[in-house]
């Protein structure tokens, strides 16, 4: 496996992470290994024994993500077939009947859907909002605290350090959904979390062409329990997806840097429009979460949210966009937007827009949005 590129800047690390040492005439990133079984003489021991247990392509990607999520202290990453496979692996591998889990009431809607499954197994679930570190009041007797910051889609922020310290004092494990920020924007393990979890489908891989998830943990026992869960339920990533994800990491710092600049410019422009309310972007100095976000984030992400007067107004706006596609998900190199209430799982106004800025030039994104706002009036 590659040497850990410690002491380097984030951009350099994202280019080199997980790649093997240079060898004459060898590729800098070996191609995907397509395999169901390995030649395995004698005892069933060794780094690779069966295709559901491990794959060299996953291993390189997992090492790369570990180097990004925890560059100074060794950590272990387990890659999954999707973000929800990773989320489910942590929640369902770490709790048992009689335990209590604390979830954000405003987190990603499919994460909240797991409440019913957890409760069917005899697990108590408590809900509290992200803003104001409200989950502090629900920690008594908890086994696991789940944090999502910034929250999706509302973009509220909580103090990871504060919540992690309180949770550990109460005897609880801490998992942080780091999807929106990426490890170059925020490192939950350095802030005290036990798990950093993310959907690599979004900004981490950033091209809108694959599904992937991962869990990173510093504690080897916790990592082992998650890895066993993956092996047992078979939620494994394909080698092609893992290779594409690893290749995409080389441009992560370029993509999220451009997206943050674009998002800040968009948020500033939207703040000048009288029909726009509820504007949220943690990187905006006037945002209610900016002070907390600035204390733990190095990049504020690609997503801006705002509210238009009603459903019809929002739909006219989306239909008038020319450069920006109407699609769910976020973090792609292409700008996308959607009326989030159409899914029915989030407590948001009918005119709520989640806008994911791409890497296009800012003036073109702004021109597209402003002409669409004018057309929607």
Query: Which residues, listed in sequence order, are joined to residue 176 by a DSSP beta bridge?
Result: 147, 196
Cα gap 368→336, rounded to integer Å:
12
Burial (CB < 10 A; 0-12, 13-18, 19+), residue 316, is middle
Q: The domain 10-249 is classified under which CATH number: 2.40.160.40, 3.60.20.10, 3.40.640.10, 3.40.50.300?
A: 3.40.640.10
7 CA to centre of own chain: 25
Could you tell me the two tokens for 180?
């929106």
* Residue 7: predicted pLDDT: 58
Answer CATH for 253-376 from 3.40.50.2300, 3.30.50.10, 3.90.1150.10, 3.40.50.720? 3.90.1150.10
Same fold, 10-249 and 253-376: no
CA dihedral (94, 96, 102, 104) positive or negative: positive
Q: Rounded to an integer, what is the distance from CA 139 to the centroid of its chain?
A: 24
Is the separation of the CB atoms in 134 and 156 below 8 Å? no
* Burial grade of 36 (CB within 10 A; 0-12, 13-18, 19 or more): exposed
Question: For residue 307, what are the β-bridge partners?
Answer: 277, 352
pLDDT digits (tens, 9 = 90+) for 264-292: 999 999 999 999 999 999 999 999 999 99
Structure tokens at 144: 């696991």
pLDDT value of position 41? 87
Tokens 């504060």 belong to: 162
Q: What is the pLDDT of residue 3?
A: 57
Dihedral-angle region of residue 42 (phi above 0 means left; psi in -120 to 50 means alpha; beta otherwise): left
| Residue stretches of the chain with pLDDT short of 50 | none
Instruction: Note the pLDDT of residue 45.
Output: 82
Q: Which residues, at least 6 apart from 251, have a Cβ–Cβ distance to it below 8 Å?
A: 14, 206
| Residue 270, pLDDT score | 98
- The pair phi, psi for residue 80, each rounded to 5°, is -130, 170
**88-132 residue pLDDT tens:** 999 999 999 999 999 999 999 999 999 999 999 999 999 999 999
**H-type alpha helices, the chain:** 10-16, 56-69, 83-94, 109-120, 160-169, 220-233, 239-249, 252-270, 290-296, 311-320, 362-376
Per-residue confidence (pLDDT) for residue 8, from 0 to 100: 82
Domain ranges of the chain: 10-249, 253-376
């Amino acid at each position: 496996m590659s040497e850990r590129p410690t002491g380097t800047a984030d951009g350099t690390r994202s280019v080199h992470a997980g790649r093997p040492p240079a060898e004459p005439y060898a590729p800098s990133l070996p191609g995907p290994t397509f395999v169901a079984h390995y030649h395995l003489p004698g005892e069933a021991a060794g780094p690779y024994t069966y295709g559901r247990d491990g794959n060299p392509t996953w291993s390189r990607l997992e090492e790369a993500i570990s180097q990004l999520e925890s560059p100074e202290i060794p950590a272990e990453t387990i890659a999954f077939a999707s973000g929800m496979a990773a989320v489910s692996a942590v929640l369902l591998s770490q709790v048992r009947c009689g335990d209590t889990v604390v979830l954000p009431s405003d987190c990603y809607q499919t994460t909240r859907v797991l409440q019913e499954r957890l409760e069917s197994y005899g697990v108590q679930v408590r809900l509290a909002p992200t803003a104001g570190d409200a989950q502090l009041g629900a920690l008594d007797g908890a086994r696991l605290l789940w944090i999502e910051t910034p929250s999706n889609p509302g973009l509220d922020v909580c103090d990871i350090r504060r919540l992690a310290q309180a949770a550990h004092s109460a005897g609880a494990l801490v998992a942080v959904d780091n999807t929106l920020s990426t490890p170059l924007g925020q490192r939950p393990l350095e802030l005290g979390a036990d798990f950093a979890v993310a959907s690599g489908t979004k900004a981490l891989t950033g091209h809108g062409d694959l599904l992937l998830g991962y869990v990173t943990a510093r504690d080897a026992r916790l990592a082992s329990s998650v890895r066993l869960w993956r092996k047992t339920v078979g939620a494994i990533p394909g080698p092609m997806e893992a290779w594409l994800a690893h290749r995409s990491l080389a441009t992560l710092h370029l993509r999220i840097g451009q997206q943050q600049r674009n998002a800040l410019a968009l948020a500033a422009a939207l703040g000048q429009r009288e029909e726009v309310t509820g504007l949220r972007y943690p990187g905006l100095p006037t945002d209610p979460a900016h002070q907390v976000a600035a204390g733990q984030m190095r990049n504020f992400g690609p997503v801006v949210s705002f509210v238009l007067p009603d459903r019809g107004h929002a739909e006219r706006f989306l239909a008038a966009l020319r450069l920006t596609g109407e699609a769910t998900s976020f973090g792609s190199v292409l700008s996308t937007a959607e009326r989030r209430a159409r899914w029915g799982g989030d407590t948001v106004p009918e005119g709520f827009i989640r806008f994911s800025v791409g890497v296009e030039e800012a003036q073109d994104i702004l021109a597209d949005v402003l002409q669409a706002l004018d057309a929607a009036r």
